[in-house]
Structure 1
């Protein structure tokens, strides 16, 4: 099978100039290139290649002051306004535990980094953008009016690398696995019942060699039950009405970004479900949610219940919990909200 010729940097820039209103991801899709190739084509013009090391960024990010942190996957965009604080760095995983910016960072997938300048009317907007080896966005930092622009330029100078090529080599995405169709239900339920912490769930899946979707479908309704797609919006609106503090997780292989606290401004626009609060913005494509689940996991503090939405490939799009402190039981108000959400009829699930 012959690969379609990749557009040159000049062709990429020409297409962008002809379509100034198109969003970056739409331009990349139209050209059959990843978003990182779109950014790379601007090197020497409006972009600078920088060291893609996640930990080098986290060491310096607090210097920027107030910024907007953005983490996304194909169906959800999670934006938090705040300061990068209390970073704990590790080779496999790092943590940022700021008052507003709360991240779990996995440095391995971070492959390309860019400092980007973009003209927006009379304004010149600055950002730091990171991508994986497939050219897919991992994490972005957008400067705001209160950000320290001088610190940004110092950071870019420190992280600038010698290679400033306008071309980008990227790896094609791996084929989607079926996740293991055969599930030993007895073993799954036994391992599930023995959990004492929600973080043990990933190890459980690895040990049994199944994916999340297979586990949710097999474990039984005492631990996981299907909900209607509209349950996500219903949960957000119910939480907003009662100012119930929640936790919202959106991630990709390189970062998981977390909001903890109440939500207030819930809006819909076409297929997008949005939260538009002062320091937290969420944009969720509800039309891409293939399965929505309420999931109950045992912990040392009692059962903890989550709302989890998967896409057609079985990948996690977004996950919600009731906000709680370690060592405390789950809020009964959160449990009540989830248990009242509309369940998917068995005929629909089939």
Structure 2
């Protein structure tokens, strides 16, 4: 095997292990045959297994599996109202971090420094000042644009943990890890500077949960709603609304108003507005963007947060069922084997490429980088046409 391929595979192994957030020891008070012991055995048998996949194998949630380390490598953090907002606001002071967001079939990891927002000055109007404070808390005081670019849906965040454990490189790894009510990972923040250690320790001390146990009260996910029959959709009105869009950000509202799934909206789009492509086109998007040094935007979310990367990419590689971007400050991992379809989409004069998995869930979306209010680059348009 060529050296560069070996290097790519080694990088991938480290990245996926980091995405997993595997703890190094089980809980201190676990009884015989406990979840922690079963996980310890599974780690021995499959040391590279991601924690998300390990949870599925063991019939539990990722949050519950992580919680087996409480008292050793894991500290449970507050689940009080707005605690996760406040923790993320304080995390702005960590400096350089690696921010990780994943869904079932994609992982996006970005290393950098998050932008801080400036709170609005008091107006003297109590109601107005309250609204401004709530708006500021909804974005956790920043994260808009810049290297760590996040769009929060905090209503779907529930559990928070601080994890301190040996990393694969031997150094101590420190992270803040957040989960939804079902115990699925929402977002993870890894400290990447010595200056951030004291900030991390203070966050842990200030937000330590009164109950350091694994009784998380995980709830089952609600059954997925059946897709509305195409015959019950006012397709003509939907297509008219699509054509009248003046901003691509209006799309989610339109899909919601017509009670459609996102992939269904692709199927029912006006002629020429959503061209179906093969899942294998994922490689062409990434490979061509790297080859041409064409800046792109990658959006990857999970219902709790959407993370956005903007910039040029360089190194792409396949490993097993994953196709990857393996750059020093940006990693993207997409499980190709789970992709069912892709679409080149035209909305409000902007072209995107979207990929869906076998369950019809959106995995990742790509745009060409452009300045707001200005046309997209011709190079991006030509790349998408070639798909």
Provide the residue aligned with 1:247 in structure 2.
297
Q: Check the 8 A contact 1:72/1:137 in 2, yes or no.
A: yes
Which stretch of structure 1 is more off in the superposition, 310-319 or 259-268? 310-319
Which stretch of structure 1 is more off in the superposition, 224-233 or 41-50? 41-50
Query: Out of 137, 149, 159, which is 2:207 matched to?
Result: 159
Question: Do structure 1's residue 233 and structure 2's residue 283 form an aligned pair?
Answer: yes
Unaligned runs of 5+ in 1: 1-7, 342-350
Q: Distance in 1 between matches of 2:195 and 2:219?
A: 34
Q: Distance in 1 between matches of 2:99 and 2:88?
A: 12
Query: Out of 52, 57, 76, which is 1:49 matched to?
Result: 76
Q: Check the 8 A contact 2:86/2:137 in 1, yes or no.
A: no
TM-score between the two structures when normalised by the length of structure 2: 0.81
Query: Out of 56, 61, 66, which is 1:34 matched to?
Result: 61
Which stretch of structure 1 is more off in the superposition, 75-84 or 46-55? 46-55
The number of equivalent residue pairs is: 330
Provide the residue aligned with 2:172 in structure 1.
124
Alignment of structure 1 residues 130-209 onto 2, 5 Å = 130-146=178-194, 148-182=196-230, 183-209=233-259
Secondary structure of residue in 2 paired with 1:79: strand
Q: Which runs of 4+ in 1 moved over 6 A?
A: none
Higher share in helix: 2
Provide the residue aligned with 1:85 in structure 2.
115
Secondary structure of residue in 2 paired with 1:179: coil
Unaligned runs of 5+ in 2: 1-28, 119-134
Q: Deviations over 1:288-335 (max 9, x none)?
A: 11110111001xxxx101000111222211000000111101111101
Query: Out of 318, 323, 328, which is 1:268 matched to?
Result: 318
Q: Check the 8 A contact 1:58/1:84 in 2, yes or no.
A: no
Which stretch of structure 1 is more off in the superposition, 150-159 or 92-101? 92-101
Q: 1:119 Cα deviation (Å)?
A: 2.4
Q: Distance in 2 between matches of 1:189 and 1:23?
A: 42
Q: Deviations over 1:187-213 (max 9, x none)?
A: 111000110011111110111111111
Q: Deviations over 1:34-87 (max 9, x none)?
A: 100011122122111112533212321122111100000000000000112224
Q: Check the 8 A contact 1:265/1:275 in 2, yes or no.
A: yes
TM-score between the two structures when normalised by the length of structure 1: 0.90
Q: 1:280 to 1:294 in 2, by over 3 A?
A: same
Alignment of structure 1 residues 218-229 onto 2, 5 Å = 218-229=268-279
Q: Distance in 2 between matches of 1:13 and 1:278?
A: 33
Query: Out of 329, 333, 350, which is 1:279 matched to?
Result: 329
